[in-house]
Structure 1
Amino acid sequence: MEFSPAPFFEDVAGGPAGGSAHWLTTQDGKRIRIAHWLPEGDAHGTVMLFPGRTEYIEKYGNAAKEFVSRSFASLSVDWRGQGLADRLLPDVRIGHVERFTDYQHDVRATLDLARQLNLPKPWYVIGHSMGGAIGMRAVLEGADFAASAFTGPMWGIYFSPIMKPLSQLTAYWGPRLGLGEKTPPTTSLDSYVLSQPFEGNVLTRDRDMYQMMRDQLVAHPELALGAPSTIWLREALDECTWLMEQTAPDNPTLTFLGSHEQIVDRKAIRARMANWPSGTLVEIPDGEHEVLMEAPEVRGPVFDQLAAHFLTAQILSEKETVMSS
């Protein structure tokens, strides 16, 4: 698989020094963008950050810095339909995918690039929000991750009691009525962080991190994304149903859930983790959707726990290798 240099907005990423981005083309012909960072000296492995819907690699510059400071390499990806990856509709403000499983083409291309770049092993995955659904399917399908972690994973989507029937009606009848590439009612084509002031936002309680998100999109508006298409909504709901029906994979996992989570379904996360034998659920008091972007006193311990989780998985993997040799 060929890859080439891609733009990387280091001016707003706030990541560690030495980051670089690459273009690559998936098996089904979509161009995506990937960035990676390496620590100085030996690495404990590589943490692959799978972003949520509307996100982009620069948003995870701070997370990469946290992991590089703990001697992990880091990688993140612009999924198809967002960031600088190929947008899939004429109106580029709409998030879209034809089939949710198409994101697995992006995962496979990401892993192929990691092999070509010889990124240090073991490899680990952190799936945030929509990236949590993508990451869980990847683990279920045997991706080479020694351990996994999730933050506010989209294993169900939260709707208020009033909006739930309307959203399901839109998701399943909209495409049949020729409205599949339109956005659901009550949604907006504007970027959430640019249209929603810090007060009352459902992403983070840290004003500085929220301002960082706004500054990134003001400086580089081409990264912004608005509401999803009704086809995306249908596909996402079907994927969540499928994921919840599966037996938990034999992969050690650590999942974080903010107690004030209002974007994904808290009940689904708790139910999934209650049936994950090698999994641990940590609930963050007063946390919102993005626990990796909460206040320093909150996110610091989260990164510490993630690093310890991955190091433990590495030690167990090394012991199993010795015992089997």
Structure 2
Amino acid sequence: MSQSAFPTAPFYADLALGPEGGEAFWLTTSDGLRIRAGVWPVGEKGTVLLFPGRTEYVEKYGLAAADLQARGYATVAIDWRGQGLADRMLPDRMMGHVTRFQEYQLDVQAVLELARGLGLPEPYYLLSHSMGGAIALRSLMRGIPVKAASFSAPMWGIAMAAWMRPFAQPIAQMSGWFGQAHRFAPSTTGKSYVLEAEFGGNVLTTDPEMWRYMKRQVTARPELALAGPSMGWLHAALVECRDMALAPAPDMPALTALGTSEKVVDTGPVYLRMAGWRNGRLELFQGAEHEVPMETPAHRGRFYDLTAALFDQHR
């Protein structure tokens, strides 16, 4: 299949700061939604399928693509349904929403078809962050054709106050029964965290330059931004985390990176999962916040070195 089979999509290279030759394409999922994928096609060792977190978008991973290309890997990143320039799921564009997490697997299938259609170098590998880590784990359980997987702060549980845990899923489920699934989840708003928060005290990164990189992107292109999730998304996420916790770890070489200052995802399920992952290991990053791949240069370098070393071992 030729490149012409995939319509080109807007791509903000000046904001992404990725390798030369990056571009984006529109993809149509099997349920008829239009999503976007960004491609940096040069890499003699293979291609990394990069699964971003909630609120994220292709351009945010331009520097990641540069780090991966420097280590020999091409990259394809995705705007999940409901975020970035992909079709938004609700009239309020700032609200993240899905009915079931399995819907994201339709996006995964579309990206695989793009990678094959463009003839991106094989083998394929998986790198994911936060919500993308939940989607990636489900993809591995479904047999996605990759050789190894690297996770950053995977969302295998959602951080919340201990007293809320017994009530969170029933309340989120009841919101659907009473027509409230399209309301913002508790403690979230209709404003972008990166646009509203100050660097001091943020929960994403301790690196001021990476903070400016993220803020500059959504300031210049506010259409990329996303705010809080819906009650429906929260229910779907809680159900997915519960169901996957009951399943054994995939038979796949895996690395998970976790900052010791993590405040966004629930770390308990991460420790538990990796303790039982036969050919997986957990690497802690001292003092790092949620976004280890967008942390200080030392943390970033270590993360991409470990990831590339894992991928290199499984060619």
Residue identity opposite 1:222 in structure 2 = E
Deviations 1:156-184 (A, max 9, x none): 11102244456435312211111001112
Match of 1:232 in 2: 233
TM-superposed deviation, 1:301:
1.3
Q: Which residue of 2 aligns with 1:141?
A: 142
Cα distance between partner residues in 2 of 1:309 and 1:186: 38
Matches within 5 A, 1:68-83: 68-83=69-84
Aligned to 2:209: 208
Task: Give the count of matched residue pairs.
Answer: 312
Contact 1:13 1:62 in 2 (8 A): yes
Structure 2 partner of 1:323: none
- Counterpart among 16, 19, 36 of residue 16 in structure 1: 19
Give the equivalent residue in structure 2 for 1:150: 151
Cα distance in 2 for partners of 1:19, 1:80 equals: 21
Amino acid across the alignment from 1:300:
G
* CA–CA distance in structure 2, aligned partners of residues 291 and 107 of structure 1: 23
* 2:286 alignment partner in structure 1: 285
Report the identity percentage: 49
Runs of 4+ in 1 over 3 A off after TM superposition: 162-170
- Opposite residue 27 of structure 1, the aligned amino acid is S
Amino acid at match of 1:181: H
- Provide the residue aligned with 1:44 in structure 2: 45
CA distance in 2, matches of 1:163, 1:134: 24
Over residues 111-159 of structure 1, what are the superposed CA-to-partner deviations in whole Å (9 max), with x where a residue is unaligned? 0110000111110001110000001111110110111110000111110
Q: Distance in 2 between matches of 1:170 and 1:25?
A: 33
| Cα offsets for 1:252-272 (capped at 9, x unmatched) | 000001111111111100000
Matching of residues 122-201 of structure 1 within 5 Å: 122-165=123-166, 167-201=168-202
Cα separation, 2, equivalents of 1:292 and 1:235: 26
SS at match of 1:311: helix
Map 1:252-263; keep pairs closer than 5 Å: 252-263=253-264
Specify the code of the residue in structure 2 equivalent to 1:178: G
Q: Distance in 1 between matches of 2:277 and 2:166?
A: 29
The reply to whether residue 7 of structure 1 matches residue 10 of structure 2 is yes
| Distance across 2 between alignment mates of 1:193 and 1:163 | 26
Q: Which amino acid aligns with 1:244?
A: A
Q: CA deviation at 1:11?
A: 1.3
Q: In 1, Cα distance between the equivalents of 2:139 and 2:56? A: 19
Give the root-mean-square deviation of aligned CA atoms.
1.2
Query: SS at the partner of 1:135?
Result: helix
Partner residue in 1 for 2:242:
241
Using the TM superposition, give the Cα deviation of residue 38 of structure 1 relative to its aligned residue in structure 2, in angstroms: 2.4
Deviation at residue 243 of structure 1 after TM alignment: 1.1
What per-residue deviation string (whole Å, max 9, x for no partner) do you get for residues 23-76 of structure 1? Answer: 01000001000011123xx61000111000000000000000001111111110
Give the counterpart letter for 1:46 in structure 2: T
- Please state how far the C-alpha of 1:242 moved relative to its aligned partner: 1.1
Which deviates the most, 42-51 or 56-65?
42-51
Q: How does 1:61-72 map to 2 (within 5 A)?
A: 61-72=62-73
Unaligned runs of 5+ in 2: none
Deviation at 1:98, TM superposition (A): 1.6
> 1:167·1:184 contact (CA, 8 Å) conserved in 2?
no
In structure 1, C-alpha distance between the alignment counterparts of 2:298 and 2:125, rounded to whole Å? 24
CA contact (8 A) 1:151 1:256 kept: yes
